[in-house]
Amino acid sequence: MINRNRIRMLASVMFADMVGYTSLMQDDEQRAKLLLDRYRKVLEEKVFEHLGKVIHYFGDGALVIFGSVIESVLCAKEIQTELLKEPKVNLRIGIHSGEVVYDDEGVYGDTVNIASRIESLSKGGSVLFSSKVNDELKNQSEFKTKSLGLFELKNVKYPIEIFALQSDDIVVPVKSDFESRLNLRNNSIAVLPFVNMSNEPDNDFFSDGITEEILNALSKIEELKVTSRTSSFAFKSKTIDVREIGKQLGVRNLLEGSVRKVGNRVRITAQLIDTLDGYHKWSDTFDRDIKDIFQVQDEIATTIVSTLKKSLNIQETQKKSLVKIPTTNLEAYQLFLKANYFWNKWTPTDVKRSLQLLKKSVELDSNFAQAYSALAACYVYLGATGQIPGKKSFESAKQFAIQALSMDEQIPDGHLSLAMANLFDWKWDEAYKSFQRALELSPNNADAHHYYAYYMMAINNTRKAVIEAEKAHELDPLSLPINAFLGDMYMNAGMISDAIEQYKKTLEIDTTFRAAINGLAWAYYQSGNLDESLKLFKKTQEIAGDDFSSNSTLGFIYAKMGETKKSFECIEKLKLKEQKAAEEVNYSIDYAFIYLGLGDYDKVFEYLNKALEDKLGALIFIRSRSWKEIHDDARYRELLNKMKLPTD
């Protein structure tokens, strides 16, 4: 069992976070560091004066606790007053009070999580806090506060009333600053997979392609919250009431339709439905000749999007066509659609099949930018899952992404693939720029937010990693990988109870999803329940039907439970697997992890440095909580320096 000397106490918790720091680092590193130093200096001085304690810095953010609510609010006000002077630092602050759990690794509990949510809601230069904090201020004449209304905060059961501190020398937000958050559901939509009404079942790829073109067009509209493909397509071939679908996806509007393809003619029907009452807001039918399918798609998508904008009262800002003609070669396009069909099955075998179809597609049209972008995504996937050696796969991914973007700079997935390739190649600045461009072009791209969270974790900004993971989950609530990943980010941030709850929610969608079972096993380990952790790791092995699956995690847990012999048996399995491998494989991280459990840090760093030499992409996870026990070792900081990562 893990003993953390936990203490329960009442505290006022303050979160502070610089607005736009990461972006500023890219544009003007010297100024960014100047402002960060100024912010930390002011914070520490004021916190000391008001008898608080800085518990943790995470990049440009900070977690602070106070024994007094009054002192925490006074401190927050003085910090903002000082930082609004030149050189100004744009800082968000959120405060909540209640019971926390305090141990040698940090502060945890619902109070911490709610303070974090309030901070992320806040506006730069202001001080926001919960109604619980406001109650403490009511009898203090020096404080004036104003209610901003009730807000539904992520993972908080009931809506919480948020207040702002009123003062002439700080920013005081108004309710209109938060209207987009309060009315988000009105502008939310999911595009259900259009039904293939053709006589040939093989035409599924065609109807799916039409659906995705419309979904991608909608995703470009920043004012809309568009549910991602994975969650929308979870309802394919299912007869479920639209109101129930809206409830599950958290959207007010559904777009559904059908595609009938007969010879050279195509009929597409579409209807927009309000999920609150099930009534149709709009419907139309399009009968067209298929000889020029690209113009047909553009007409359909543009018409639907234009109608949606009017129906949802969204200001018309997009004047250009939302669907570009990707290629003039119909055969190349059909291969692309088929490749996309297999890509979305999301298994190594299907992604390899997609890869081969895409290669044939670009042979037919060497100027097909979308196909090159899809090739880049395939190589990122195959490299990240170990199907192709990392160096080879990520270089290929970069090559194809750059080729795609040289033809069409406005392909979001091209920027996303380039970002991921640079991320695993430890090119942090390049990765950041590509992530930003991908999100700028497609703000509703759940995958972009999902992978951007990887970047935030790598640079040790755990707070923003959680925020990005939550955004991905909001956009794609039924995606198994995104659901499990959100649990990972909660666990990495020390939000163990949230992590356990999130993994269990994921397993409600699919009881056999191994990533969620593994995550739950780790969460139980973090909470000190090694027996349950071991049981779950063994379960993932059974589900995989492979006694090598979860080998390194089992070796780690066995070591922590004092079963050294079994731990070394896991090491022998690794050696045997290497010998039998048909091609060169690299298990450096696996070896390092088992030795981490055994407490042999010399061996840990021997293998981590080998992974460094081979530039294994998995090293980006070295900042995670799983490796926490070596984070104070000087050799760990050396490793970060070699990877050009921040050491704080």
Q: Is the pTM of this model over 0.85?
A: no
Query: Domain range holding 241?
Result: 184-324
DSSP class per residue in 339-367: HHHHHTT-SHHHHHHHHHHHHHHHHH-TT
- In this predicted structure, what is the pLDDT of residue 249? 84
Report pLDDT digits (tens) over 162-201.
999 999 999 998 766 765 454 435 678 899 999 988 877 6
In a domain, 604, yes or no: yes
To which H or E segment does residue 63 belong?
Answer: strand 61-66
In a domain, 534, yes or no: no
In a domain, 95, yes or no: yes
In a domain, 509, yes or no: no
- In this predicted structure, what is the pLDDT of residue 521? 94
In a domain, 383, yes or no: no
Q: Which of 182, 216, 246 is the last residue of a domain?
A: 182
Same domain for 176 and 213? no
Contact criterion met (CB below 8 Å) for 78 and 47: no
Gap between the Cα atoms of 591 and 614, Å rounded: 14
Same domain for 132 and 217? no
In a domain, 441, yes or no: no
- In this predicted structure, what is the pLDDT of residue 449? 94
- In this predicted structure, what is the pLDDT of residue 226? 86
Residues whose CB is less than 8 angstroms from the CB of residue 32 and which lie 6 or more positions away in sequence, other chains included: 21, 24, 25
Number of domains in the chain: 3
Same domain for 80 and 122? yes
Same domain for 171 and 191? no
Q: Which of 161, 182, 203 is the last residue of a domain?
A: 182
In a domain, 329, yes or no: no
Return the CATH number at 153.
Answer: 3.30.70.1230
- In this predicted structure, what is the pLDDT of residue 565? 95
CA angle 255, 260, 261 (to 5 degrees): 135
Same domain for 258 and 197? yes
Q: Which of 148, 182, 216 is the last residue of a domain?
A: 182
Q: What is the DSSP letter of 192?
A: P
Gap between the Cα atoms of 395 and 398, Å rounded: 5
Same domain for 99 and 165? yes
Same domain for 284 and 232? yes
Residues whose CB is less than 8 angstroms from the CB of residue 343 and which lie 6 or more positions away in sequence, other chains included: 350, 351, 354, 374, 377, 378
CA nearest to 465, candidates 444, 491, 433, 429: 491
Same domain for 101 and 228? no
pLDDT means per 10 residues, the chain with 648 residues, are: 65 92 77 92 96 88 94 97 95 94 78 90 92 91 87 74 92 72 63 86 78 81 81 87 82 88 82 82 81 68 68 56 72 86 79 94 93 92 75 89 94 92 90 94 90 92 90 88 93 88 91 91 92 92 81 93 94 87 76 95 95 83 90 93 83
Same domain for 15 and 31? yes
Exposed / middle / buried, residue 648 (Cβ in 10 Å: 0-12, 13-18, 19+): exposed
Q: Where are any strands of DSSP class E within 248-378?
A: 253-262, 265-274, 280-289
First to last CA, the chain: 29
Return the CATH number at 272.
Answer: 3.40.50.10610
In a domain, 402, yes or no: no
Same domain for 83 and 191? no
Contact criterion met (CB below 8 Å) for 13 and 106: no
Same domain for 81 and 210? no
Same domain for 200 and 175? no
Gyration radius from the chain CA atoms: 26
